[in-house]
Amino acid sequence: MGDAVDNSPVVTFAMKGSHEFQKYAFTIAVTIVVLTVHLLLQKYLWKPLRMRRIMTKQGVAAAPFHIVVGSLPECFAFMSKYSGDLHVDDHYDATPTVSPMNTLYFPKNENFFLYAWGSEQRLTTRDPEFVKEVLLTRSSDFGRAKLNAYILGQIIGHESLATVEEDPVHATHRRILNPYFFPEAIKAMVNSMVEGTVSTLQMWEEKVKQGGGVAEFDVQPDVHAISGKIISLAAFSNDFETGRQIYENQKSIIEIVFKSLGSLLFYIPGSRFLPTKQNKEVARLQKANHDLLANVIEKRKKAIANGTEVSYGNDLLGHMLRALEGKGASVDFNLKSVFNNAEAFYFAGQDTVASAMNFALLMLARHPEWQDRARKEVNEVCGSRNDAIDAAKLNRLKTVSAVQKHSCVLSSSKIISKKHF
């Protein structure tokens, strides 16, 4: 009895403490919920609507807007009407599948329209004077679009020349990498380019020979293989297999990221950090690329330590590794920068060059007379196949240069320039 009386104040005190804790916890929880709802409404509703109101007052037409997803439903529905395969005679009109919003909204508006990619409002223009003003006088106010920066960062990392925009970091990357792309440095790569090309050309010749002078086969995979081998030799010397694996992993990352763009979950804040199947696979592929490059770097360091090599090599990777240890070393250019720039060089080099070459071959197939002119010029300037390729001779290939330039004009590698304010 006495014990019960002695213990009762303690029990009462504990109950009061528990009640106070629950009250505080409830208050904190309600505050967090209210703030979260407020921030979500600010990001996905109030800010987009305010921006649209400002632009429409200035006479800019606005595409339909849906909360969270923006104008994407209309764009995806319009794009789905077009086949993924285009007939060779319709190659000039690939815009509906490349940039559906332009094909959908420009016919309704002259030079400007506003559409929403998720919650991000995008002003689109084809007025050259307006574009010139933005790029020449206001370029410092604009950066890369956030979504583009995220996608590029997933593929090649966030510390490469292609993804770093802030000075002095960007300036440091330019200073270190620019010498590798000087004319003299490019000329030194000619032998690597020939080495990466000759085996595939010989294979094509053999197929034509076996077909009695005529053969039909898909050259696109071979052109990508040529481009990959040349880039591998330029970036990693003889580590061609490493470069091939890196590019295959990058292609897989692209497929996953672009597939996720069509999902509503992608546009929910924080969803990119959730342990979803797609996010785990992207992280695995990124780690695989990191490990591949780390193995190549470690192998070169061991070769120097053992005395079997006297330098890191004359390729891009060797150039960057020397920059890490040289007098011009900077905290803005570290080992992660080496990884990311190597990935960026390989991805940008292989994909863009292969795509441009495939389109040039398509144009030559549609215009056989240009094939004859280009072939005649190559034979006259470069001589027989047994003659060594001299970089100085390449400047004399006027017809080949014209084919390349006109192909790039007809199939621009960059039809849209996106900036973020």
Residue in the block written with tokens 């969270």: 68
Which of 327, 351, 375 corresponds to the end of one domain? Answer: 351
Tell me the pLDDT band of 11, cut-offs 50, 70 and 90.
very low
One domain, residues 256 and 299? yes
One domain, residues 312 and 178? yes
Q: Which of 110, 104, 108, 114 has its CA nearest to residue 60?
A: 114
One domain, residues 389 and 266? no
In a domain, 143, yes or no: no
| pLDDT, tens digit (0-9, with 9 covering 90-100), for 171-191 | 888 888 888 888 877 777 787
The whole model's pTM is what?
A: 0.71
Given a contact cutoff of 8 angstroms between Cβ atoms, the answer to whether 162 and 170 are in contact is: no
**For position 282, what pLDDT does the model report?**
93
In a domain, 384, yes or no: yes
| pLDDT, tens digit (0-9, with 9 covering 90-100), for 200-235 | 888 999 999 998 888 888 888 888 888 888 888 777
- When comparing pLDDT for 31 and 271, which is higher? 31
- When comparing pLDDT for 13 and 95, which is higher? 95
Which residues does 276 contact at the CB level (< 8 Å), separation at least 6?
265
**For position 90, what pLDDT does the model report?**
52
One domain, residues 315 and 399? no
In a domain, 257, yes or no: yes
Q: Is the pLDDT of residue 13 over 50?
A: no
Q: Which of 330, 253, 237 has its CA nearest to residue 290?
A: 253
Q: Is the pLDDT of residue 286 over 90?
A: yes
Given a contact cutoff of 8 angstroms between Cβ atoms, the answer to whether 124 and 105 are in contact is: yes
**Structural domain count, the chain:** 3
Q: Region 93-122: what's the mean pLDDT?
A: 79
Given a contact cutoff of 8 angstroms between Cβ atoms, the answer to whether 179 and 326 are in contact is: no
Q: Which residues pair with 112 in a beta bridge?
A: 125
Helices of type H across 188-276: 190-210, 220-236, 240-260
One domain, residues 204 and 346? yes
Q: How many CB atoms lie within 10 A of CB 80?
A: 10
In a domain, 21, yes or no: no
Q: Region 247-275: what's the mean pLDDT?
A: 83
**For position 413, what pLDDT does the model report?**
53
One domain, residues 194 and 305? yes
Which of 351, 376, 402 corresponds to the end of one domain? Answer: 351
**For position 414, what pLDDT does the model report?**
57
- When comparing pLDDT for 139 and 103, which is higher? 103
Q: Is the pLDDT of residue 314 over 50?
A: yes
- What is the secondary structure of 144-164 as a DSSP string? --HHHHHHHHHHH-SSSTTT-
Q: Is the pLDDT of residue 410 over 80?
A: no
Provide the b/e sequence for 304-325 (b: ≥16 CB within 10 Å): eeeeeeeebbebbbbbbbbbbe
Least confident of 298-307, 390-399, 412-421: 412-421
In a domain, 138, yes or no: no
Amino acid, res. 89: D
- Taking the C-alpha atoms of residue 111 and residue 130, their distance in angstroms, rounded to an integer, is 10
**For position 87, what pLDDT does the model report?**
58
One domain, residues 272 and 209? yes
**For position 83, what pLDDT does the model report?**
63
Tell me the pLDDT band of 7, cut-offs 50, 70 and 90.
low
Given a contact cutoff of 8 angstroms between Cβ atoms, the answer to whether 245 and 236 are in contact is: no
Q: Region 330-341: what's the mean pLDDT?
A: 82
| pLDDT, tens digit (0-9, with 9 covering 90-100), for 358-405 | 888 888 988 899 999 999 999 888 877 777 777 778 888 899 999 988
Helices of type H across 107-187: 128-137, 146-156, 169-177, 183-187
Q: Region 37-65: what's the mean pLDDT?
A: 88
Q: Is the pLDDT of residue 19 over 90?
A: no
- When comparing pLDDT for 79 and 227, which is higher? 227
One domain, residues 38 and 71? yes
Q: Region 337-364: what's the mean pLDDT?
A: 84
Q: Region 40-61: what's the mean pLDDT?
A: 88
- Taking the C-alpha atoms of residue 367 and residue 410, their distance in angstroms, rounded to an integer, is 14
**For position 402, what pLDDT does the model report?**
92
Q: Which domain holds residue 280?
A: 169-351
* CA atoms in the 13 A half-sphere facing the CB of 344: 19
One domain, residues 308 and 392? no
DSSP state of 45: I
Here the tokens at position 306 are 């053992």
What CATH number does the domain containing 246 carry?
1.10.630.10
One domain, residues 335 and 390? no
In a domain, 419, yes or no: no
Q: Which residues pair with 117 in a beta bridge?
A: 70, 120
Q: CA torsion 374→375→378→381, rounded to 10°?
A: -90
In a domain, 264, yes or no: yes
Q: Which of 101, 134, 139, 117 has its CA nearest to residue 51?
A: 117
One domain, residues 343 and 236? yes
Q: How many CB atoms lie within 10 A of CB 288?
A: 15
Given a contact cutoff of 8 angstroms between Cβ atoms, the answer to whether 419 and 122 are in contact is: no
**For position 1, what pLDDT does the model report?**
45
- Taking the C-alpha atoms of residue 134 and residue 140, their distance in angstroms, rounded to an integer, is 9
**For position 159, what pLDDT does the model report?**
84
Tell me the pLDDT band of 2, cut-offs 50, 70 and 90.
very low
Give φ, ψ of 237 to 5 degrees. Answer: 60, -115
Q: Region 19-25: what's the mean pLDDT?
A: 78
* CA atoms in the 13 A half-sphere facing the CB of 10: 5
One domain, residues 184 and 290? yes
Here the tokens at position 369 are 């007379």
In a domain, 162, yes or no: no
Q: Between the CA of residue 196 and those of 190, 192, 229, 234, what are the distances in Å?
A: 10, 6, 5, 10
Residue in the block written with tokens 């990119």: 272
